[in-house]
């Protein structure tokens, strides 16, 4: 069914409308800092990402976030600019977003430390929403290019999920060259490791496959310590790519020397972690060398692994119903892959 229920609206805010405490730092990095803040008039908690704004350039992350409105994507509530306290010439962009307290990386770390795991229904629900979120991005021609557990936020009440951090995101244009040294290493697809610059949005599918695998393994499936070793970690499991697969990843690499390595059965990788053959089949169809052979996001949603999510009156282990939006799709999603979405909805 078409989703017309999202009532999120952008509002106009300035620095004086927010109460921001420096001690409430949520995260920081090369991009800037993220703070927890409160909208004074409504008492609503929000996240504020503060980044230096070079006046010579347009902020691509902001431009992309203005386009986005989806239950599985962090919502841009507002934005404003502030001057640096050190120099009036320096300006900062402040991006105000929904506050979702728990990154997926924290839940995975908790499972690892406590020797626990996600229940089957939560594992399916999280995987489904990740795929749906990137499907929406791809329907707009946007590639995230940095999918990883730290950039996936979870509401642990109903396990609704939002993809965040669009600092590496880009509209991909056919025939236009793109940087290959992007995407966090453990989640970087092999075509990027091999230096491909004319890749597709399917790079996100590889990264999602890595995250879905990590949900069960509690650690990265391909933990390379360098770009070169990253390819070796991938080959340790998938085996050496064929000449045809090399060409599909980067046509300039068809004559490179690749060591001969035998693949490891997926069931062996997930032994004692998840013996569900449908889960293993899904992962094996996402983590494929040839980008064109990987399941697209909406085709992945049709995989029988997710059949349980379609059961009526299904509840989470805490007794709550699943988020109401998971089987609602926007017009751009339907137009992007009508066949898959219509098939998916026919199963409900």
Active site residues: 146
Contacts 24+ apart (CB under 8 A), 194-201: 194/231, 194/246, 194/249, 194/250, 194/253, 195/250, 195/252, 195/253, 196/249, 196/250, 199/172, 199/291, 200/143, 200/172, 200/291, 200/292, 201/134, 201/137, 201/138, 201/141, 201/142, 201/143, 201/172
DSSP strand pairing (91-98 vs 45-53): antiparallel
Which distant-in-sequence residues (6+ apart) come within 8 Å of 276 by Cβ?
A: 120, 305
Which distant-in-sequence residues (6+ apart) come within 8 Å of 346 by Cβ?
A: none
d(CA 213, CA 160) in angstroms, rounded, equals: 19
User: Please, are residues 191 and 252 in contact by the beta-carbon 8 Å criterion?
Assistant: no
User: Please, are residues 143 and 133 in contact by the beta-carbon 8 Å criterion?
Assistant: no
Which distant-in-sequence residues (6+ apart) come within 8 Å of 312 by Cβ?
A: none
Q: What is the DSSP letter of 35?
A: E
Q: How far is CA 270 from CA 275, 294, 300, in A?
A: 7, 20, 20
**CA end-to-end span of the chain:** 10
Return the structure tokens found at 345.
């909805």
Q: How far is CA 133 from CA 160, 180, 262, 290, 301, in A?
A: 11, 23, 34, 22, 11
3-state SS assignment for residue 39: strand
Dihedral (CA of 325, 329, 330, 336) sign? positive
């Amino acid at each position: 069914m078409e989703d017309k229920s999202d009532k999120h609206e952008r509002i106009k805010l300035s620095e004086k409308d927010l109460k921001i405490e420096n001690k409430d730092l949520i995260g920081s990095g090369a991009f800037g800092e993220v703070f927890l803040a409160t909208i004074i008039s409504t008492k609503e908690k929000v996240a504020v990402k503060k980044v230096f704004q070079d006046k010579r350039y347009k902020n691509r992350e902001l431009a992309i976030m203005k386009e986005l409105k989806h239950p599985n994507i962090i919502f841009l509530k507002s934005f404003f600019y502030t001057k640096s306290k050190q120099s009036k010439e320096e300006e900062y962009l402040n991006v105000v977003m929904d506050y979702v307290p728990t990154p997926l990386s924290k839940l995975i770390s908790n499972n690892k430390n406590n020797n626990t795991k996600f229940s089957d229904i939560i594992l399916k629900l999280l995987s489904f929403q990740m795929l749906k979120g990137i499907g929406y991005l791809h329907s707009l021609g946007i590639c995230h290019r940095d999918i990883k557990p730290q950039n996936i936020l979870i509401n642990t009440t109903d396990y609704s999920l939002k993809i965040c951090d669009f600092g590496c995101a880009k509209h991909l244009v056919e025939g236009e060259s793109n940087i290959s040294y992007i995407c966090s290493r453990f989640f970087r697809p092999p075509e990027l490791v091999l230096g491909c610059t004319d890749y597709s949005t399917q790079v996100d599918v590889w990264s999602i496959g890595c995250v879905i695998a990590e949900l069960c393994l509690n650690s990265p499936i391909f933990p390379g310590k360098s770009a070169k070793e990253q390819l070796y970690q991938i080959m340790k499991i998938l085996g050496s790519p064929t000449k045809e697969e090399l060409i599909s990843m980067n046509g300039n690499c068809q004559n490179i020397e690749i060591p001969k390595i035998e693949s490891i059965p997926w069931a062996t990788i997930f032994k004692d972690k998840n013996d569900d053959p449908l889960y293993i089949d899904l992962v094996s169809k996402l983590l494929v060398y040839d980008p064109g052979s990987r399941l697209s996001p909406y085709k992945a949603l049709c995989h029988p692994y997710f059949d349980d999510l379609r059961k009526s009156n299904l509840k989470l282990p805490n007794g709550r119903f699943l988020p109401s939006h998971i089987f609602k799709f926007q017009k751009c999603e339907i137009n992007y892959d009508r066949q898959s979405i219509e098939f998916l909805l026919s199963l409900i």
